[in-house]
Amino acid sequence: MTEFDQMCPYFHKAMTILGKKWTGQILRSFIEGSRRFTDISTYVHGISDRLLSQRLQELEGEDIILRQVYSSRPVIVEYSLTDKGQALRQVVEAVQRWADRWIDDPVVATNRA
Amino acid sequence: MTEFDQMCPYFHKAMTILGKKWTGQILRSFIEGSRRFTDISTYVHGISDRLLSQRLQELEGEDIILRQVYSSRPVIVEYSLTDKGQALRQVVEAVQRWADRWIDDPVVATNRA
């Protein structure tokens, strides 16, 4: 018996969070710091505003990102990683390393969704 | 400018492969070696046979897993990781480390899909 011989409920829960369309790309956008909604939308490129809002709400609900509202005019809303979210940097970097080594042809249809 | 300041098409392509429902859990099932369809189905727990077939075909199409048919009676079909798939162990382990540290309550509804 090893750690990987059977499913781990913690891993399973993590993948239900991380294994959603666009979530990896959204998380990558935060690695260097806080972002506004339009920054993330531009960065991720191809996601609809509606789905991006939904994903941000899900990540906020999981304590992975923090939504901060500044009462300026116009109001500024910024999203950033919590400590739990910052810890995902190792996952993003692991995916990046794998992609750099193994993805030959990065061209992929980016259907809006 | 750092590596993460803009989206990387290789990362994006990697996430279109890995960021699908159940794919992380399926990949985890192969870490310790080859598996038959029913092994994977039991391991992942909650995925429909139809969706599992689809995911396995996608991973085979991406050269991440290898499907081998042994002409015994009954015919045995085994799936295992290719070198490209074995390299995903670092991603699975990174998710596991994050999950072990940060997931408090692993209880999650496992709807069949």
Residue-range domains of chain A with CATH: 23-102 (1.10.10.10)
Beta-carbon contacts below 8 Å between A and B: 155
Question: What pLDDT sits at residue B113?
Answer: 47
- Tell the residue number behind the tokens 């990065």, with chain if given: A106
Alpha-carbon gap: A31 to the closest alpha carbon of chain B (Å): 7
Question: What pLDDT sits at residue A12?
Answer: 96
Low-confidence ranges of chain B (pLDDT < 70): 1, 108-113
Determine, for residues B9 and A44 on separate chains, whether the beta-carbon distance falls below 8 Å: no
Contact A90, B94 (CB under 8 A): yes
- Asked if the model's pLDDT at residue A111 lies above 80, the reply is no
Q: A54-108: per-residue pLDDT in tens?
A: 999 999 999 999 999 998 888 899 999 999 999 999 999 999 999 999 998 777 5
Dig out the tokens for A33 from the structure. Answer: 């710091």
Give the confidence band of A5 by pLDDT, cuts at 50, 70, 90: confident
- Asked if the model's pLDDT at residue A112 lies above 50, the reply is no
Return the DSSP state at A4: T
Give the confidence band of A113 by pLDDT, cuts at 50, 70, 90: very low
Q: A26-39: per-residue pLDDT in tens?
A: 999 999 899 999 99
The string of DSSP codes covering chain B is --TTSS--HHHHHHHHHHSSTTHHHHHHHTTTS-EEHHHHHHHH-S--HHHHHHHHHHHHHTTSEEEEEE-SSS-EEEEEE-HHHHTTHHHHHHHHHHHHHH-S---------
Sheet holding A65-70, edge to edge: A35-36, A76-81, A65-70
Contacts of A93 in chain B (CB under 8 A): 94
Higher pLDDT, A25 or A4: A25
> Rounded to an integer, what is the distance from CA A17 to the centroid of its chain?
9
Question: What pLDDT sits at residue B73?
Answer: 86
How far apart, in whole angstroms, are the C-alpha atoms of residue B23 and residue A22?
14
Please, which residues have CB within 8 angstroms of residue A6's CB and are 6 or more apart in sequence? Answer: B43
Question: What pLDDT sits at residue B2?
Answer: 72
Question: What pLDDT sits at residue B106?
Answer: 75
Contacts of B10 in chain A (CB under 8 A): 96, 99-100, 103, 106
Cα separation values, B60 from B11, B30, B64, B68, Å: 19, 13, 6, 11
Q: Choose from A2, A6, A10 for mutation: most chain B CBs within 10 A.
A: A10
Determine, for residues B91 and A108 on separate chains, whether the beta-carbon distance falls below 8 Å: no
Contacts of B4 in chain A (CB under 8 A): 28, 31-32, 92
Give the confidence band of A4 by pLDDT, cuts at 50, 70, 90: confident
ipTM here: 0.90
Determine, for residues B2 and A32 on separate chains, whether the beta-carbon distance falls below 8 Å: yes
Burial class (CB in 10 A: 0-12, 13-18, 19+), B56: buried
Contacts of A20 in chain B (CB under 8 A): 19, 21
Return the DSSP state at A46: S
